[in-house]
Amino acid sequence: MQVLLSHQAPDEVWGKKAFLTFQQNQAIVHFSENFDRTLVQKAARKLRGQGIKQAELIGEHWNADSCWAFYQGFYTAKQDFEVDFPELDEVENEKLLELIETGDFVREIINLPSDVLTPEVLANRAVQFIQQQAEDWQAGELSYKIIKGKDLHEQGYHGIWTVGKGSANAPVMLQLDFNPTGDVNAPVLACLVGKGITFDTGGYSLKPSNSMESMKADMGGAALLTGALGLAIAQGLNARVKLYLCCAENMISSNAFKLNDIIQYRNGVTVEVTNTDAEGRLVLADGLIEADAQNPQFIIDAATLTGAAKVAVGNDYHSVLSMDDQLVADLLQSAQQAQEPFWRLPFAELHRGQISTAFADIANSGSLAVSAGASTATAFLSYFVKNYQQHWLHLDCSATYRKSPSDLWAVGATGIGVQTLANLLLTKAKQGV
């Protein structure tokens, strides 16, 4: 099917609001002078819904952004499709290839089943992807280490170890340092901390089947941050960024952690486990402690963390929680440029008092009968960032994965947020702030 972009309004027979029409053997996508990626993406989804698996984009109006929007909508998890792109100039073509390579990595790795994507495989795949980007773009030095199994416990990463010890697949922590300066003393622009739970049963706080069926995607935060760093590298990132992926399976066994267990973290904070299904914050805590010790200019963590965020914003937005108004504003501006959906939820001092327990410093779930789950989860994480009021931003990623299709997305991973975070890294690197 040939697909043409057109500024012309559709014929009246199609209706005034029609954005996709057909003429002979061509599909025509109608859009205004102000590019709206959602219209192009919706058109691609409609074509796929009609059983079309091959598309050839023709005409003079295509550019990298519109081609990418079409590709996003045409994509399906089986990858049983083909898009022939028009001839673009060198800069636009390069941009499109960067977006496709990054987007394919993120969506594919989230869609993989957990018997393939174990915690260690996730860490290794992330390293391979970042290494490839750094080599392709001759971007500078890259170093990393993967801490695995009992070594996590011995080195003080008690959250990741506790959550993952019940699985036959050992938990791991990836610590990756992208340093384009080559100077070991170079300041760190950003630390990125991702939740990499490759499957989440809920542990002894067992999830029902309809809630567990998409839990292969509970590592979406790790995939999002890895993709964002890779895209930023491809687009010329020239500042030092460290990536921490906290990877585990949350399983039930004789070795699994239980309710009322108490975890003592390296920063001295003790945590009572009051819900084993609130495991993501337990692994992120280790990553945040490590990230905070690097004295970066800012920290971002990303996680498919709470059902509460999804209740608040649905399956269409990522939630943003932070006390740093400027960092939030910068993130939302980057999101607007990328035309990706983010929405701010509240996080205030009062939420830090809503995770109390009689047996430890804090509990891993809210202590009130009715609590703001996304906000109290953020409050929990704040205990592992010294200056949590500034230069730290938490993303609760509700738009990572779809159990059912929409008019924009097929079933499965979306990749929403990669461009936004890459934009933010590049902008901050240019500002030196």
User: How many angstroms separate the CA atoms of 359 and 15, rounded?
Assistant: 65
Of the residues 46, 53, 207, 344, only one is catalytic, namely: 207
Beta bridge partners of 151: none
Reading the block at residue 215, the tokens are 């839990």
**Pairing status of strand 362-363 against strand 298-303:** unpaired
Reading the block at residue 97, the tokens are 């290839």
Reading the block at residue 206, the tokens are 């067992």
Please choose, from the candidates 399, 374, 398, 390, the residue with its C-alpha nearest in 3D space to the C-alpha of residue 433: 390
Please choose, from the candidates 194, 198, 216, 264, the residue with its C-alpha nearest in 3D space to the C-alpha of residue 401: 216
User: How many angstroms separate the CA atoms of 201 and 224, rounded?
Assistant: 22
User: How many angstroms separate the CA atoms of 66 and 44, rounded?
Assistant: 11
Q: Which amino acid is at 81?
A: F
Catalytic (active site) residue 207: yes
User: How many angstroms separate the CA atoms of 391 and 393, rounded?
Assistant: 7
Q: What residue ranges in 60-159 does DSSP mark as E strands? A: 82-84, 141-148
Q: Rounded to the nearest 5°, which phi and psi values hold at 300?
A: -125, 130
Of the residues 42, 281, 310, 402, only one is catalytic, namely: 281
**Pairing status of strand 342-344 against strand 318-321:** parallel
In whole angstroms, how far apart are CA 301 and each of 98, 216, 258? 23, 19, 26
Beta bridge partners of 245: 174, 194
Catalytic (active site) residue 403: no
CB 269 within 8 A of CB 159: no
Rg of the chain's alpha carbons, rounded to an integer? 22
CB 141 within 8 A of CB 264: no
Location of structure tokens 């994480």: 381
Q: What angle do CA 407, 411, 417 make, to 5 degrees?
A: 80
Virtual torsion, Cα 313, 315, 317, 320, nearest 10 deg:
60
Q: What angle do CA 261, 264, 266 make, to 5 degrees?
A: 155
Catalytic positions = 207, 281
